[in-house]
Chains A and B, each alone.
Chain A
Amino acid sequence: MMLIECPFCGPRDETEFSCGGEAHIARPLAENKISDADFADYLFMRDNPKGLFLERWRHSAGCRRWFNMARDTVSHDVVEVYPMGALPKTAAAKSVYNTSWRRDTAAEQAAKPARASQKQAAKARGRK
């Protein structure tokens, strides 16, 4: 059973965690029009590598916080644990991030606010 280092609670048994699958999948905004095929990259396509994988995990039976984890799917070695919204720091995990096919997808581009609707979105969120 893996021992996972929760960034807040420290090492805990794997049974206290739930895995949220592949990390760093940017969500395209509905107002940004992309093709169904491009949208499918976001909705359906997941990597399943033999080796280092960047995943999202949640300490579900503990502090309920999400975090990112770079884990080797073969050896179960955890290379790095890093916060949500951050990028990995170790060279191996960085390389996995940078070389992912996702970095060039239309879905990833569409995850940024569209210029035209930026104002509207900001307004809807009630912020400047």
Chain B
Amino acid sequence: MASTSKKASMLPGRSALAGKPATRHANPYASKPGDGKPGDSKPGLVFSEMVHLGKLNLRASKSASTQVKSVVGCAFPTAANRSSSAGERHVVWLGPDEFLIICEADKDAELASTLESALKTQHCAVTNITDALAAFHLKGTAVRQVLAKGCAIDLHPGSFTSGDAAQTLLSHAAVTMLAVAENELIVICRTSFAPYLHDWLLDAALEYGVKFTK
């Protein structure tokens, strides 16, 4: 059997939802899930998977902030449950010595190794968990109402504002949520929970109209 000479970086790999079984709706009486409310052309929730969005877990003390800024483009967020951003990159607070670094798809490996070199004199752990986590991009006028159905934290736009982040439960899935704008959030979960969350979001947003885009 001939081996393929294709470089791995050229292989696209599969998204978290690839091969997912057909959505098995909890309620067979729900009308046309995913098509939006009848007669409503503007669904309250439009969501998509952010395929291969780069994700690095960084465990380091605050002193690593300078190097993180120089490599990633943004420093550690200044407070717990906040994020800092530079373009498409975010550094999200996960704990007093733990951060999630979000970067462009397929830039994760490169960023991880640059960061690791920059931090090599420090006690730290840079771990590429791009494939371990799946990310959803959620947008729409009903996005916060939909999330409130499964999330106990206060998602009022005045309480969970742009740049705020939270690790919490969304129904039965542990998630990290990042508020991008009033009607726009990123929800990150473990990859194996992505099919569940996909189905959950479709069902929970039914009353506002919902559309999943590839």
Binding site for B on A (CB under 8 A): 8-10, 12-13, 15-16, 61-65
Contacts and interface: CB of A to CB of B under 8 A. Distances in A.
A12 B153 CA distance: 7
B95 A10 contact: no
B80 interface: yes
Interface in B156-193: 166-169, 174
Given A12-B153, A16-B152, A61 B95 contact: no
A62 B98 CA distance: 12
B80 to A, nearest CB: 5
Contacts, number: 34
A12 B166 CA distance: 11
A98 B169 CA distance: 37
28 contacts: A8-B80, A8-B81, A8-B95, A8-B96, A9-B80, A9-B81, A9-B166, A10-B81, A12-B152, A12-B153, A13-B152, A15-B152, A15-B169, A16-B168, A16-B169, A61-B167, A61-B168, A62-B166, A62-B167, A62-B168, A63-B80, A63-B94, A63-B95, A63-B96, A63-B98, A64-B95, A65-B95, A65-B96
Interface residues of B, number: 13
A63 B80 CA distance: 10
A24 B67 CA distance: 38
Contacts of B96: 8, 63, 65
Contacts of A13: 152
Contacts of B166: 9, 62
B201 to A, nearest CB: 19
B174 A61 contact: yes
A97 to B, nearest CB: 24
Contacts of A12: 152-153, 168
A10 B159 CA distance: 12
Contacts of A16: 152, 168-169
B132 to A, nearest CB: 15
B203 to A, nearest CB: 21
Contacts of A8: 80-81, 95-96
A125 to B, nearest CB: 14
Sorted nearest first, the 6 A-B pairs with minimum C-beta distance are A63-B95, A13-B152, A8-B80, A62-B167, A61-B169, A61-B174
